[in-house]
């Protein structure tokens, strides 16, 4: 397995070119502005060199509109194929170039192979990028290597197991027999899923799924749909929308939504008739939550505080805990997750999830419900956390029934958990990976 941050030694060069770098045509130095490639380059370098999330680089950028969207698409395509493209480049490099140069080469390969950019543009834009970034000594190398990729792509790809290479070894191993199935939904761009407020019609052009989610083609901009400004719907993956639906009748119930931002589940609870206390630790995220609820014309008590310490004035009927997690289930939308997370992160997050479950226990009245959920594919953050919670006898598992998951029967496990992954329902656009379980305080 090739790790994107530390590629394995190069394979032997093909016959006919052994020991010699292919001749490169001189690259003309250009200072043309190219905000799309510049931002995509910053994103990839941030992920590979600094384990910085894609969204973090996007938020810091002044790039807007179409350029921003195009940079995101280029960076996401590069990250989805990072491992296999790293392997493809190995026979073309006598020695490993500096990391920023390798990131630029990966952007070039992504344009050539996965985005069908015209060859001259795919090569020229990367050569220009290197000049702009003070990496002119490597422009000739990039010119030669990318031209070889243009000519020999099919040969270079021969024998590569893309799915296996594009997932870090530790993650692939952790997924076990599900690994290849999970990757079936990895490469396609995720559609736009909406949850529509009761009493409103979904905008035209969507498909209503059996779970009630309305799905639109990938690339659809929610803000452009009629009814957005009026707060008639919000974006929420079909899997992410299920946990609240599995809580049952919430009318008149006092509920805490922990780690509540950006507010999709809070909105669902409010629409279901619950009295909601939405708890969010970070002020910027809490502000975003308030803004989203304001657009939706919904009111909750938003509490800026640490859910591990906050307690309600009176015991609650229910707690929804969408716990901080590795987010490996969101890899379709956030392929950077694959290359940012490390095994030790899972251990740390799992310990934190146990603390959140303990905190939720203190918030509930006897017989109160905890709906635990994570957008993770990792056993340590799902089934193992529930097994741990059940050990001391304070909780009772309330399995989800076949009737409750009739719209998505494959998501029901033998234990009565809810579990999805990106390889499910690929033909219909797939879904995020989610785990949920329902516990009752004894």
Integer CA distances (angstroms), 301 to 29, 232, 263, 275, 320, in order: 58, 20, 12, 8, 15
Number of alpha carbons in the 13 Å side-chain half-sphere of residue 217: 3
Distance CA 16, CA 139 (A): 24
User: Which are the contacts of 58, defined by CB distance < 8 A and separation ≥ 6?
Assistant: 39, 43, 68, 71, 72
Q: Which of 63, 259, 325, 375 is catalytic?
A: 375
Query: CB neighbours (10 Å) of residue 44?
Result: 28
Task: List CB contacts of 189: < 8 A, sequence separation 6 or more.
Answer: 73, 76, 218, 219, 332
Structure token pair of residue 18: 């052994």
259 tagged catalytic: no
Please give the Cα distance from 280 to 259 (Å, whole number): 5
Strand 435-441, strand 364-374: pairing? antiparallel
Burial of residue 189, with CB atoms counted within 10 A of its CB: 0-12 exposed, 13-18 middle, 19 or more buried: middle
Report residue 99 CA to chain centroid gap.
24
Cβ–Cβ under 8 Å, residues 281 and 305: yes
CA angle 371–372–375, rounded 5-degree value: 130
Nearest CA among 336, 332, 279 for reference residue 309: 279
Nearest to 401 by CA among 425, 417, 423: 417
The set of catalytic residues is: 375
């Amino acid at each position: 397995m090739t790790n994107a941050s530390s590629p394995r030694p190069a394979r032997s060069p093909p016959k006919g070119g052994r020991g010699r770098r292919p001749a490169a045509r001189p690259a003309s130095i250009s200072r043309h502005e190219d905000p799309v490639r510049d931002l995509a380059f910053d994103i990839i370098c941030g992920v590979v060199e600094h384990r910085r999330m894609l969204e973090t680089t996007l938020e810091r950028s002044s790039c807007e509109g179409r350029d921003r969207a195009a940079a995101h698409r280029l960076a996401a395509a590069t990250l989805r194929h990072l491992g296999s493209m790293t392997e493809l480049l190995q026979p073309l490099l006598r020695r490993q170039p500096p990391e920023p140069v390798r990131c630029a080469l990966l952007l070039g390969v992504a344009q050539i192979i996965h985005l069908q950019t015209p060859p001259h543009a795919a090569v020229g834009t990367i050569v220009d990028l290197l000049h702009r970034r003070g990496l002119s000594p490597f422009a000739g190398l990039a010119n030669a290597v990318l031209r070889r990729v243009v000519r020999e792509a099919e040969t270079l790809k021969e024998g590569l197991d893309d799915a296996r290479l594009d997932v870090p070894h530790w993650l692939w191993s952790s997924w076990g027999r599900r690994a290849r199935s999970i990757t079936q939904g990895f490469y396609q761009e995720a559609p736009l899923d909406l949850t529509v407020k009761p009493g409103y019609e979904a905008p035209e052009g969507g498909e209503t799924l059996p779970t009630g989610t309305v799905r639109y083609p990938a690339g659809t901009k929610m803000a452009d749909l009629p009814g957005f400004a009026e707060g008639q719907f919000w974006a929420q993956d079909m899997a992410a929308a299920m946990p609240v639906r599995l809580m049952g009748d919430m009318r008149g119930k006092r509920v805490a939504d922990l780690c509540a931002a950006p507010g999709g589940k809070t909105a669902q609870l409010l629409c279901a008739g619950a009295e909601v206390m939405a708890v969010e630790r970070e002020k910027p995220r809490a502000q975003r939550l308030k803004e989203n609820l304001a657009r939706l014309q919904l009111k909750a008590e938003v509490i800026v505080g640490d859910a591990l310490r906050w307690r309600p004035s009176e015991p609650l009927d229910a707690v929804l805990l969408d716990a901080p997690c590795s987010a490996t289930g969101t890899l379709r939308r956030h392929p950077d997750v694959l290359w940012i997370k490390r095994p030790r992160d899972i251990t740390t997050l799992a310990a934190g999830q146990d603390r959140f479950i303990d905190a939720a226990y203190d918030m509930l009245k006897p017989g109160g419900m905890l709906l635990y959920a994570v957008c993770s594919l990792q056993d340590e953050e799902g089934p193992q956390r529930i097994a741990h919670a059940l050990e001391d006898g304070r909780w009772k598992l309330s399995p989800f029934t076949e009737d409750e998951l009739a719209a998505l029967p494959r998501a029901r496990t033998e234990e009565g958990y809810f579990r999805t992954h990106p390889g499910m329902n690929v033909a219909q656009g797939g879904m995020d990976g989610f785990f949920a379980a329902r516990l009752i305080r004894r």
